[in-house]
Amino acid sequence: VSTSPLPSPAPARRSRNRRGEGDRLRADIVATATELLEATGSPEAVTLRAVARHIGIAAPSIYAHFPDRDAMHEAVRDAGFVDLIDQLDAATAGTPESEPVRSLHLGCRTYLRFAEDRPNLYRFLFGPEVKAGPGTADGQPAGGHDLESGLRAFQILVDGITACADQGRSASTEPWTDATNLWVALHGLALLHDCVPLFPWPERGEQVDQLVRSLGRLQP
Amino acid sequence: VSTSPLPSPAPARRSRNRRGEGDRLRADIVATATELLEATGSPEAVTLRAVARHIGIAAPSIYAHFPDRDAMHEAVRDAGFVDLIDQLDAATAGTPESEPVRSLHLGCRTYLRFAEDRPNLYRFLFGPEVKAGPGTADGQPAGGHDLESGLRAFQILVDGITACADQGRSASTEPWTDATNLWVALHGLALLHDCVPLFPWPERGEQVDQLVRSLGRLQP
DNA sequence: TGTACATCAGTGAACGCGCGTTCACTGATGTAC
DNA sequence: TGTACATCAGTGAACGCGCGTTCACTGATGTAC
């Protein structure tokens, strides 16, 4: 019926895990839920039934690994943050300490490439989870979920600017504040880019570099 | 059952419009749908039935004014953009041409206040609408919806920076590019602020001013 | 002034759907003796 | 080596729900004559 790769259920039925390997299904669930999210862009489409269909299991099987749908979503978010931080770590780990400017640019470009490559996942990671009280229909952004993970990624940015300032390559006197501004700008760029694609955007790499220079107060 | 103001349906039944005033229901639908969106933060919660419940009409009555649910959502978006642009126009219209810097700051602060006051609406305005082909489950950001409206709001920013540059208050040589950077930063600030409220944010007004100065290349 | 009638602004019941979740179950896999 | 049995990794049917949408309808409001 559908020709797109993911939303059509897997044809074959998944073979049952051997004893003691039940946790493999958990990993499959998170991976499939993530793919589904990336393909559809909407968390509401990542239902227990849809995930089960694509894996080739019965829907109730998910309950062995997650208490409910929200827990599954949270697992997707957690795994996504791990991916993001891994990529940032990998990108900045390769650069020598003697080149903090290059390292900072690299980090920011990597951040943006992640958001560019996986826009729907990125939006989900930083999107607001509405948590509604039982029986109530009103929702407030939960906020603070994964604050730890976010702060860890953010610290990379602060360290980058600090390193530049230490070597006289940046005029920043408040790296934390400047890093905040830079993060904010990268976030906005990532989201607006894939939300208003028809806008006459400047060349992307150049725009990132410009933001890094301006907000990181890099010397010309 | 619920104590929150909106999600509990209106108690009384709405009195029928007089003849020739059927369009008043349309306005009520858009207003109620907008309120519902702002209260819940999730477009999925803005269902035909929920809107009808709160107005005090039967759900099928909506079909006299909108062909389907998506059309209702689009009307909410359109009305939201009108609100935003009205506020921006009002804010900048009051400042004299001799003070372009103040005008630019005012415009940006107004933009951000809108996003701060109505975060769920703002996120919806600039959020991606996924349009799925019939029968298919995959979604791509529609993009380009309301590009006109967006460009009109954006032009205010470009004009602001140009005016500053004309009077030697900004070092910008490419107002369009600089306005893009500024818009991106404002957007990111608006979204991150209400999505990660636990982050130790700098004072908001100051942060906006800093972004305007840096990205608008204002002279100290 | 009276009255038949068109139309406007809706209503109420019903449909089929996919969803989250529950429940009792099943059958292969490994283990104790 | 054989076998009873516990447990692991799930299954299949069913529930109640809210949803978008359809359909035939209704009753007040205004209008033509």
Residue B6 has pLDDT above 50, yes or no: yes
Write down how long chain B is.
Answer: 220
- CB–CB contact B126 A7 (8 Å): no
A76 CA, D12 C1': Å apart: 28
C-beta within 7 A of nucleic chain C, residues 40-69 of B: 56-61, 64
Chain A residue closest in CA terms to B174: A202
- CB–CB contact B184 A192 (8 Å): yes
pTM, two decimal places: 0.91
User: Which one of A120, A199, A204 makes the best mutation probe of the B interface by having the most chain B beta carbons within 10 Å?
Assistant: A199
Joined tokens for residue B80: 């939201």
pLDDT tier at A16, thresholds 50, 70, 90: confident
Q: What are phi and psi of A176, to 5 degrees?
A: -60, -50
pLDDT at residue number B26: 97
- CB–CB contact B39 A187 (8 Å): no
A25 CA, D12 C1': Å apart: 19
A10 touches strand D (CB under 7 A): no
Q: Which residues of B touch A143 (CB under 8 A)?
A: 194-198
pLDDT tier at B154, thresholds 50, 70, 90: very high
pLDDT at residue number A129: 60
pLDDT (tens digit, 9 = 90+) per residue, B191-206?
999 888 889 999 999 9
- In B118-146, where does DSSP find H-type helix? 119-126
Strand C: positions under 7 A of a protein C-beta atom: 7-14, 18-24, 29-30
CB nearest A184 (choices: B41, B119, B188): B188
A17 touches strand D (CB under 7 A): yes
Q: Is B132 helix (H, G, I), strand (E, B) or coil?
A: strand
Which distant-in-sequence residues (6+ apart) come within 8 Å of B1 by Cβ? Answer: A135, B8
The pLDDT mean for chain B works out to 88
B24 touches strand D (CB under 7 A): no
Q: Is B140 helix (H, G, I), strand (E, B) or coil?
A: strand
pLDDT tier at A47, thresholds 50, 70, 90: very high
pLDDT (tens digit, 9 = 90+) per residue, B102-118?
999 999 999 999 999 99
Output the DSSP codes for A174-198. Answer: -HHHHHHHHHHHHHHHHHHHHHSTT
Whether the Cβ atoms of residue A141 and residue B194 lie closer than 8 Å to each other: yes
pLDDT (tens digit, 9 = 90+) per residue, A50-102?
999 999 999 999 999 999 999 999 999 999 999 999 999 999 888 888 999 99
